[in-house]
Amino acid sequence: MPRAAVSGNGNLLACLNRQNLLEDLYFPYVGMEDHIDFQHWHRVGVYINGRFSWLTDRSWEHETNYLPETLVTNSRSKNVELGLSLEFNDFVYPSENVFVRKITIHNEVDYDRELKIYFNQDFHLYGDKQQDTAFYDPEYKAMIHYRKRRYFWICGMQNGKAGIDSFTTGKSEYRGLEGTWKDAEDGNLHEHPIEQGSVDSTVQFNVSLKARSKQILYVWICAGKDLDETEDMHEFILHENPEKLLKNTVNYWLSWVNKEADKGLQINPHWLKLYKQSLLIIRTQIDNRGAIIAANDSDIMKFNKDTYTYMWPRDGAWVSIALDHAGYGEITKRFFQFCAETMTEEGYLLHKYNPDKSVGSSWHPWYKDGEMQMPIQEDETAIVTYALLQHWKHYKDIEFVQEMYESLIRAAGSFMAHFIDEKTGLPLPTYDLWERERGIFLYTAACVYAGLDAAGKLSSIIGHFNHAERYKEAAVKMRAAIVEHLYDKEEKRFLKRVELNPKTREIKKDYGLDASMHALWMMGVLPPDDERVIRTNKIMQEKLAVHTHIGGMARSENDDYQRVSGDYGAIPGNPWIITTLWHAQWLLTLAKTPADLEEIKGYIDWATKQANPAGILPEQVSPFNGEPLSVAPLTWSHATYVDTILKFDKKAKELNKKS
C-alpha cells in the first residue's frame, strides 16, 4: 500500500497510509531506522454504543489530503454505521522532533454519546522488536517507549487538559500474543504499567460528544535520544499549545513553498498545485545532513527484504538539479557536501549510501566470471559533477566551488578521464541506470561526457587551468567516441549499449530501446534537434509507448520490473512518471510555436493525474488500471515533475512573446 501522505522536518519523517494510520516513522535520519517497520502500523480505534471498530474495518471510508500548500494533512475517516467521522490534521513540527495529530471527532447523530478512542503504539525500535521497554508515566499521564538511544513519548490533550485517560502495556509478536490492541476491543484496558522485550502499548482517551457536535483531541509523539529530551518536547507542546504549533507549521510551509513566488508561473492551476506539493514532498525525503533519499515506503520490502531508503547519488543529483532550478540551493549544497565526503580516494561514488554516510546495501559484485570488476554505475559519479555545474550557474557561489574542488571536482574528473577503454574511447563497463545490466551504455557515456565537461568548466572557474584542459579534452574525445561507436549508420539511430569482448575486442551491439537514451540530448552530447537524435527518439517513442487507456511511456522494452498480472503483448512495460516526462521535455526543446505545446500538455496532464488526492506521485503505475506500483512517493518522480513544469513555463513564455 503506497504511502498516502508524508510529513517531516529532515530528522523525523512520518508516513501515513490510506487509512490515515501511521505506518512508517523514521528518526533521527530520514530513511534510516524505521521505528514501525514493514507491514506494521499504529492502530486507531473507537468504542461507542457498546461497539468497537478499528479504522482498518471495512465500515470506514477514508480520504487523505493536505491543507493547501503545506505538509499538514487534511484527512477524514467516516463510519456511517457508527454515525461518526474523524478529521485528521497531522504534521511534524518544523523545528522540533514532534509528530502531532489533531483529531476533530464529529458526532453525526441527534443524541449525546460517550466515546473512547484508542491509539496503539506498535514500535519496532531500531527496526526490530526486542529489548524494548514501554512504561506509563503517572506524573505526566504519558506512555514512553524506549531502547538504548531512542525514546518516544506519547500523550495528548482535550479541552486544555493534558494526559491519557487509560493505558496498558504488554507483549506483542511473542509466543502468539498479537498485542495490547486486542485488550482495547472490550472497551477496557488493563492498565499494566510496564513491559519489556517484545512490547507494544495502547492508550485511551475518553470523549463526551453532544448531539450533532464535534470535539477536538490532540495526540502527539515526541522523538528523542533520552528521556529528558522527550520530556522537554512535551513541556514545549504544553507551553506553546498544540493548536498554535499547527498554525505555525501551516505558516512555515506556506512561506517555504512560496519563497520563489516571483517566478510568476503562468500554468494550469492543477499543475501549479502539484508543482508546489511536489516541492514540499521532496523536502520530506531529504535528511538534514544532505542525503536525498529515493523513497521512504517500507512496503517495497516484500520484494527482496530491502527498501529504497538510500541515497543514490544519481537520484540525488537529478533531484538537486530540479531544486536548484526551483531556487532551493541551500538544500542542494548539503547534498554536494555529502557526496564530497563519501567519494572514494580513487574518485568515484559507490552504488548507494545510508543517510549517515555509511555504504548502503548493493547487488553489484566485485568479482564475476573469474574476474574482478568495479561494482559501480559510473553515471552516478558523472551526474553529480554535472549537477554541481548547474548549481554554479544558478548561484555563482565561487567559494562553494572552491570547497568542492579537491574532494569532488578534481577527484571525479580525474577518475572519469582515466576510466576509459583505450580502443573505443568509451567508459569502461559498469552497471546501467536501472542497475540491471553491465556494459557500455549510451546513458552512462553521455553522463560521463557531461561530467568531464562540467569538471573542466568548474576547474576553470577557480583557476585550475591545467586540470581544466585535461577534462575538457577528455570530454571532446568522449563525445567523438559516442558518435563513432554508439551510433548505428545502417539503422540511422543510436544504440542502447555496446559490449566489448575482453578477449577478441569485438564490439557487440544492443539494439534495445531504453528511455535512458534521452541522456544523449539532455547531457548535451548532441542538440535535441539533431536528425540522429530525432530519429532515435521517434523510434523510442513508438516502442516505449503504453498502448492502453492508461497511456504513458515505459522505461525499456520488455521491462518486467514490478509487473502485475495481465496481457503485456502490446505493452513494453509499466508506464513511469520519469520516462514519460523526459519525452515531454524533449518535445519542449523542439517546440517552435504555442500550438506545438499542445501535445506536451497532454503528457504533463497524464503525469498530474497519476498523483493521489494528496499529490503523492509513485515510481510507476499499472498499465491496466493506473494503480500506483513500486514505491510512493518517489522523490525523483516529483523532481522530474518540478523540472518539467519550470521548463514548460519558460518555453511557453518565450513562444508567446514571439507570436
At 236, the pLDDT band (50, 70, 90 cuts) reads: very high
C-alpha cell at 601: 500538455
pLDDT given for residue 301 in this prediction: 63
Pairwise CA distance, residues 86 & 78, whole Å: 6
Pairwise CA distance, residues 273 & 70, whole Å: 11
Query: Taking residues 596-604, what's their average pLDDT?
Result: 98
Alpha helices in 501-595, H assignment, sequence order: 519-522, 531-544, 577-590
503 has pLDDT over 80: no
597 has pLDDT over 80: yes
pLDDT given for residue 304 in this prediction: 61
Total residue count of the chain as it appears in this document: 659
Q: What percent of the chain has pLDDT over 70?
A: 99
pLDDT given for residue 385 in this prediction: 98
Q: Which of 330, 316, 282 is nearest to 387 (CA)?
A: 316
Pairwise CA distance, residues 111 & 123, whole Å: 37
3-state secondary structure of 297: coil
Q: Which of 431, 340, 346 is nearest to 387 (CA)?
A: 340
pLDDT given for residue 369 in this prediction: 84
At 471, the pLDDT band (50, 70, 90 cuts) reads: very high
Q: Which residues pair with 87 in a beta bridge?
A: 76, 104
C-alpha cell at 581: 516526462
Query: Taking residues 237-259, what's their average pLDDT?
Result: 97
454 has pLDDT over 80: yes
pLDDT given for residue 305 in this prediction: 62
56 has pLDDT over 80: yes
494 has pLDDT over 80: yes
1 has pLDDT over 70: no
pLDDT given for residue 38 in this prediction: 80
pTM for the complete prediction?
0.97
Query: 214-224 and 150-158 as β-strands: parallel, antiparallel, unpaired?
Result: antiparallel
Pairwise CA distance, residues 397 & 413, whole Å: 20
Query: Taking residues 567-595, what's their average pLDDT?
Result: 96
Domains and CATH numbers, the chain: 5-256 (2.70.98.10), 270-309+551-561+571-659 (no CATH), 333-544 (1.50.10.10)
pLDDT given for residue 609 in this prediction: 98
Pairwise CA distance, residues 480 & 281, whole Å: 40
C-alpha cell at 45: 480505534
Digit-coded pLDDT (tens) for 162-217: 999 999 999 999 888 899 999 999 999 999 999 999 999 999 999 999 999 999 99
Query: Taking residues 269-291, what's their average pLDDT?
Result: 98
Pairwise CA distance, residues 226 & 233, whole Å: 11
Q: Which residue in the block uniquely carries the three cell numbers 482517551?
A: 205
At 370, the pLDDT band (50, 70, 90 cuts) reads: confident
Digit-coded pLDDT (tens) for 85-143: 999 999 999 999 999 999 999 999 999 999 999 999 999 999 999 999 999 999 999 99
Name the DSSP letter for residue 428: P
In order of 38, 439, 456, the CA distances from 561 in angstroms are 21, 20, 37
Q: Is 219 left (phi over 0), alpha (psi -120 to 50) or beta?
A: beta
Digit-coded pLDDT (tens) for 555-578: 999 999 999 989 998 899 999 999
Query: Taking residues 229-248, what's their average pLDDT?
Result: 98
Angle at 352 between CA 412 and CA 342, to 5 degrees: 45
C-alpha cell at 465: 587551468
Digit-coded pLDDT (tens) for 605-614: 999 999 999 9
Digit-coded pLDDT (tens) for 10-44: 999 999 999 999 999 999 999 999 999 888 999 99
C-alpha cell at 381: 559519479
470 has pLDDT over 60: yes
Averaged pLDDT of the chain = 96
Query: Taking residues 535-546, what's their average pLDDT?
Result: 97
